[in-house]
Chain A
Amino acid sequence: MTRRLAVLALGLALLTGGCWNRKETDELALVSALGIDRLPDGGILVVAQIVKPAEVRAGVPTAVGSPRAVSLVSAAGPTVGAAVRGLAQVAGRRPFWAHARVLVLGAEVAKSGLGDVLDWFFREREFRARVWVAVTPGRAAEVIAAESDLEKIPAVAIDNMFRGRSILSFVPGTNLFRFLRDLATPGKDPLAAALLVVPRTALAGFSGHQGASGSAEAVAGPPSPEKEKEERRLYLGGSALFRGESLVGWLDERETRGVLWTSGARGLVVLSSPVVPGGRVSVEVLKARSSIEPRVAQGGVSFRVEVNLVAALAEQPSGVDLSSPETLALVEDELEKTVSAEVLSALGKAKSLGADPFGLGFALFTRDPAAWRGLAPVWPEHLRSVPVAVEVSSRVIRTGLSLGAHRER
């Protein structure tokens, strides 16, 4: 009897667990991208890009005038949580976050500090830490509303841009996990990708010259409203630099890569000055190893940043045989110069803003925690004057088999 009761109790206990929250797929609104903006009154505006599965599947390419594959829904509230709840009411379906790919933060909300915004993302278990985090100089809503030519779901286009970032390494691959990790790491400030809406005809490139103001003025003037939809497109490049939770400035693409060299960037580098007559040589960096060495001496702290590159020749304009050791050494020298210039320019801007995307402080923390504890409260100020030496070494391991036969007569 006791045994039977025990079995019954165990059986019932097993059945009480489990997934009580059945939710049919057709009752869900699959969110592909989420944008967050700060309203002038300090409230939060969330804009969600919701996939319309039937339109995605419709097969025929979306001609002009055909229904969009995504629907935009926005809601406002005093906090992110409240606004998101409002979203559910507007959308008519329960938003489903697990398949969101991009989180876009507007410049205003980033500048005013993300502390109150990010808490919701910590708590909502459906929201994945793999979602890409991007900051836009303007309003996030504009980015969420922008369309893509190739992808029916614009968020997929952004996702693809992020995935393909290593061809140039002009943009950091910040997802929510890395962003939050950098935020929580002592002596390191997070960097987030910059995502812009630019006129279709504009040349690629994010200057980042707005500096700390972060306004969208660098983006060419607003197009005529009626043509707005066709004439604007998404552009991913450069990065937003944070100090703690707040956006303090922008790095252009080369500066961004300057930071990324210390965290394993790859991709094509066009050498800054010609090595051989006839034009500029490009190399493909295959591997970058780096280390940051803090030195604590009587006079204070100094750092030494070392970058070690392995590269292959990617493009050369002249018929000169670069495979000889002497010319190859020239290429290597030039590569080192180019890369160290990028690192130094990034370092210069970061130091001037008092932000530490390289994690110099973290390197000090791991090497000499006591010294870090003394410096931590004044680190942003201290950073402005801290001496940093940059050493770049490189090795070009492949020149390819093409000897320029097409130039020989």
Chain B
Amino acid sequence: MMKLVRAIWGRQSRRARGTSRAGGQRGQAVSPHLEVNLARLRELFGASGDLAVRYFRPGLAPEVPAAVVYIDGLVDTALLDRHVLEPLLRSERGRAGLLRGAGAALASYASERLVSAAEVELVTALEEASCQLLAGRAVVFWQGSTAALAVTVRGWAARAVEEPGTESVIRGSREGFTEDLRTNLALLRRRIRSPGLRVEYLTLGRRTNTQVAVVYVDAVASPSTVAEVKRRISGIDIDSVLESGYIEQYIEDSPWSPFATVANSEKPDVVAAKLLEGRVAILVDGTPFVLLVPYLFIESLQSAEDYYSRPFYVSMLRLIRLAAFGVSVLLPALYVAAVSFHQELIPASLAITVAATREGTPFPAIIEALGMGVVFEILREAGVRLPRPIGQAVSIVGALVIGQAAVSAGLIGSLMVIVVALTGVATFVVPAQIDAGIVLRAVYTVLAGVFGLYGIVLGLVVTVAHAAVLTSFGAPYLSPVAPFSRTGAGDTIVRVPLWTMRLRPEALRSPDRVRRRGRVRVGVQPMRGRRET
């Protein structure tokens, strides 16, 4: 019993700390006068229409006026009826003499004996009560009681667990995170059934009071990384957190780099796998996108499915993804450089073909490349923003009409259309690096148009040097390639069989690097000579 109370109080004080940091003005205690409390709450909420108050007289002390306050839409009224109102109203009158004049005792009696909801909390400050209201709880006030009872009867419209739109897989879990933090945590708990999975709540955003959870696996994640994540998050002091992207931009190592140093994922199995490698996840209420740190470049070439399928085809796919990334970043630049500077680099018969497609086009190659790049982005953006059926039609018609017509009108060379289309498609092979890829592509194309291949090489040198010094929460961004790690190299451009991946990635500095102990694989006995009959 005491344990429970202490647990409740412990939670409450922790929550209180959170709110105080988030900037709520404290001090006003719950008044013994019911009407004063209600008036103050109404004043605080500016008489918002969705602040609902329901007066009643509890069955055990009908002479004491009481009220349930909740925000309409955040609570499930059926739950409220069954677990709060009904027990309070139907309670037997008795021991009333004991209770009379002891308001706080009334509240704790109700929480211990009457209200049948699982989550209840005693509240003594009005600000605290308002926080509870906003979190979807109903708060019960009694005349004469300086404690109010917050009861969790949360129930709002939420999306079910669905297959996420990004990171689709052919093989593997179809579940995706939702906007609800608790659902998301449950999805993770279901995958890592270990008490070692640690969840630490923080509240961020002075006005949004968004719940943020830092999740890691104890003894697998490096304690210094966990501490650093918490340090960086607790340093954030902003008005609102509406998506995990807000937090990402506040905690990333190099905000001016084109490369993202914080990963995100919509899939619980991906997040679970990364947690078990020693990473730290940051879940934010209100978004299905979970942040993961540290983030290494090589992760952008990896997909969840890589580990669910046998390794041979996957290793080929890794090469293809790398090539596609190269194409998406470099192809227009190389084309521009070859066509306007280094015609001698093109094989003779191809050079004639190129010359034929360029014959009579009015613009230099660099203008063509940049222009078509912009057109492609316009089509893509239009396709993304419009409702899906219209969006598809718009992009198909736009691409066909603009591509075909521009070529037949002699505005641009047909090879350029191929280059732009191939580049555009290749961009989506490595979705994690789309941002960086498009920015770098534009820079390289301009460099190629001004300086030719020399410009591209210059740009590459600068980019690689920059990526080599990047770190993400202490992990070198290009690891395990640079600095090279022999154990990590098996999960780069090839994916070695799972049973040979004995150690966790070196760059994550896990205190427990060994992933697998004991024998490699249970040997399979040859079936020779066991044919029956």
Taking Cβ atoms with an 8 Å cutoff, the residues of A that contact B are: 14-15, 17-19, 21-26, 28, 30, 32, 51, 53-54, 56-57, 96, 98-99, 101, 126, 128, 153, 156
A22 touches B340 (CB 8 A): yes
A53 touches B356 (CB 8 A): yes
**Known interface pairs A53-B355, A53-B359, A54-B359. Does A24 touch B452 (Cβ–Cβ under 8 Å)?**
no
Closest to A69 in B: B352
B344 touches A99 (CB 8 A): yes
**Known interface pairs A23-B341, A24-B358, A98-B343. Does A51 touch B352 (Cβ–Cβ under 8 Å)?**
yes
Closest to B355 in A: A53
| Least CB distance, A159 to chain B, in whole angstroms | 9
Contact pick for A19, options B341, B348, B354, CB 8 Å = B341
| Least CB distance, A222 to chain B, in whole angstroms | 33
Chain A residues positioned under 8 Å from B451 (CB to CB): 15, 17-19
| Least CB distance, A53 to chain B, in whole angstroms | 4
B61 within 8 A of A: no
B343 touches A28 (CB 8 A): yes
CA distance A273 to B352 in the complex (A): 49
A19 touches B454 (CB 8 A): yes
Can you list 14 residue pairs at the A/B interface with Cβ under 8 Å?
A19-B342, A25-B354, A25-B358, A26-B358, A26-B359, A26-B361, A28-B343, A28-B355, A30-B352, A30-B355, A54-B356, A56-B356, A57-B353, A156-B349
Chain A residues positioned under 8 Å from B354 (CB to CB): 25
B453 within 8 A of A: yes
B344 touches A126 (CB 8 A): yes
CA distance A17 to B447 in the complex (A): 13
Chain B residues positioned under 8 Å from A22 (CB to CB): 340-341, 364, 449, 452
A24 touches B365 (CB 8 A): yes
Closest to B350 in A: A99
> 4 more A-B contacts (CB under 8 A) besides A19-B342, A22-B341, A26-B358?
A18-B454, A19-B453, A56-B356, A99-B343
| Least CB distance, A133 to chain B, in whole angstroms | 17
Interface string of B428-462 (1 = CB under 8 A from A): 00000000000000000000010111110010000
| Least CB distance, B411 to chain A, in whole angstroms | 13
| Least CB distance, A37 to chain B, in whole angstroms | 25
Closest to A128 in B: B344
| Least CB distance, A110 to chain B, in whole angstroms | 26
B399 within 8 A of A: no
A24 touches B340 (CB 8 A): yes
CA distance A26 to B360 in the complex (A): 7
B351 within 8 A of A: yes
A101 touches B348 (CB 8 A): yes
Chain A residues positioned under 8 Å from B349 (CB to CB): 156
CA distance A98 to B350 in the complex (A): 13
- Shortest beta-carbon contacts, A-B, top 10: A98-B344, A19-B452, A53-B356, A18-B454, A53-B355, A57-B356, A18-B451, A99-B348, A26-B358, A19-B341
B187 within 8 A of A: no
B353 touches A25 (CB 8 A): no
B339 within 8 A of A: yes
CA distance A153 to B340 in the complex (A): 24
| Least CB distance, B363 to chain A, in whole angstroms | 9
Q: Max chain A CB contacts within 10 Å: which of B348, B351, B449, B455?
A: B348
Q: Max chain A CB contacts within 10 Å: which of B349, B356, B358?
A: B356
CA distance A96 to B62 in the complex (A): 103
Closest to B458 in A: A14
Contact pick for B341, options A21, A57, A153, CB 8 Å = A21
CB-CB contacts below 8 Å: B323-342 with A: 339-342
Closest to B339 in A: A25
Chain B residues positioned under 8 Å from A24 (CB to CB): 339-340, 358, 364-365
Chain B residues positioned under 8 Å from A56 (CB to CB): 352, 356
Q: How many residues of B contact A (CB 8 A)?
A: 28
Closest to A58 in B: B356
CB < 8 Å A-B pair total:
80
Q: Max chain A CB contacts within 10 Å: which of B344, B355, B358, B453?
A: B355
CA distance A98 to B343 in the complex (A): 8
| Least CB distance, B285 to chain A, in whole angstroms | 45
CA distance A101 to B348 in the complex (A): 9
Interface string of B346-386 (1 = CB under 8 A from A): 00110111111111110011000000000000000000000
| Least CB distance, A385 to chain B, in whole angstroms | 47
Chain B residues positioned under 8 Å from A126 (CB to CB): 344
Chain B residues positioned under 8 Å from A17 (CB to CB): 451, 454
Chain B residues positioned under 8 Å from A15 (CB to CB): 451
Closest to A29 in B: B355
CA distance A126 to B343 in the complex (A): 10
| Least CB distance, B55 to chain A, in whole angstroms | 72
Closest to B360 in A: A26
Chain A residues positioned under 8 Å from B359 (CB to CB): 26, 53-54
Closest to A55 in B: B356
| Least CB distance, B429 to chain A, in whole angstroms | 29
CA distance A322 to B342 in the complex (A): 57
| Least CB distance, A332 to chain B, in whole angstroms | 43
| Least CB distance, B345 to chain A, in whole angstroms | 9
Contact pick for B351, options A14, A19, A21, A30, CB 8 Å = A30
Closest to B452 in A: A19
CA distance A51 to B356 in the complex (A): 10
B344 touches A53 (CB 8 A): no
Chain B residues positioned under 8 Å from A98 (CB to CB): 343-344
| Least CB distance, B420 to chain A, in whole angstroms | 17
| Least CB distance, B35 to chain A, in whole angstroms | 68
| Least CB distance, B102 to chain A, in whole angstroms | 74
| Least CB distance, A360 to chain B, in whole angstroms | 37
CA distance A388 to B453 in the complex (A): 54
Q: Max chain B CB contacts within 10 Å: which of A18, A25, A54?
A: A25
B356 touches A99 (CB 8 A): no
Contact pick for A26, options B344, B353, B355, B455, CB 8 Å = B355
**Known interface pairs A23-B341, A126-B344. Does A57 touch B455 (Cβ–Cβ under 8 Å)?**
no
Closest to B349 in A: A156
Chain A residues positioned under 8 Å from B353 (CB to CB): 53, 57
Closest to A20 in B: B451
Contact pick for A25, options B348, B355, B455, B458, CB 8 Å = B355
CA distance A101 to B343 in the complex (A): 15
Chain B residues positioned under 8 Å from A14 (CB to CB): 458
Chain B residues positioned under 8 Å from A25 (CB to CB): 339-340, 343, 351, 354-355, 358, 365
Chain B residues positioned under 8 Å from A101 (CB to CB): 348
Chain B residues positioned under 8 Å from A54 (CB to CB): 356, 359-360
Closest to A98 in B: B344
CA distance A128 to B351 in the complex (A): 15
CA distance A21 to B458 in the complex (A): 17
CA distance A147 to B364 in the complex (A): 34
CA distance A51 to B359 in the complex (A): 12
| Least CB distance, A309 to chain B, in whole angstroms | 35
| Least CB distance, A19 to chain B, in whole angstroms | 3
| Least CB distance, B446 to chain A, in whole angstroms | 12
CA distance A296 to B399 in the complex (A): 78
Q: Max chain A CB contacts within 10 Å: which of B343, B349, B454, B458?
A: B343
Closest to A159 in B: B348
Chain B residues positioned under 8 Å from A30 (CB to CB): 343, 351-352, 355
Chain B residues positioned under 8 Å from A21 (CB to CB): 341
CA distance A140 to B205 in the complex (A): 84
Chain B residues positioned under 8 Å from A26 (CB to CB): 355, 358-361
A23 touches B343 (CB 8 A): yes
| Least CB distance, A177 to chain B, in whole angstroms | 16
| Least CB distance, A162 to chain B, in whole angstroms | 14
CA distance A24 to B348 in the complex (A): 16
Chain A residues positioned under 8 Å from B339 (CB to CB): 24-25
B340 touches A51 (CB 8 A): no
CA distance A18 to B349 in the complex (A): 27
| Least CB distance, B457 to chain A, in whole angstroms | 9
Closest to B351 in A: A99
Contact pick for A18, options B358, B361, B452, CB 8 Å = B452
CA distance A25 to B358 in the complex (A): 7
CA distance A203 to B6 in the complex (A): 111
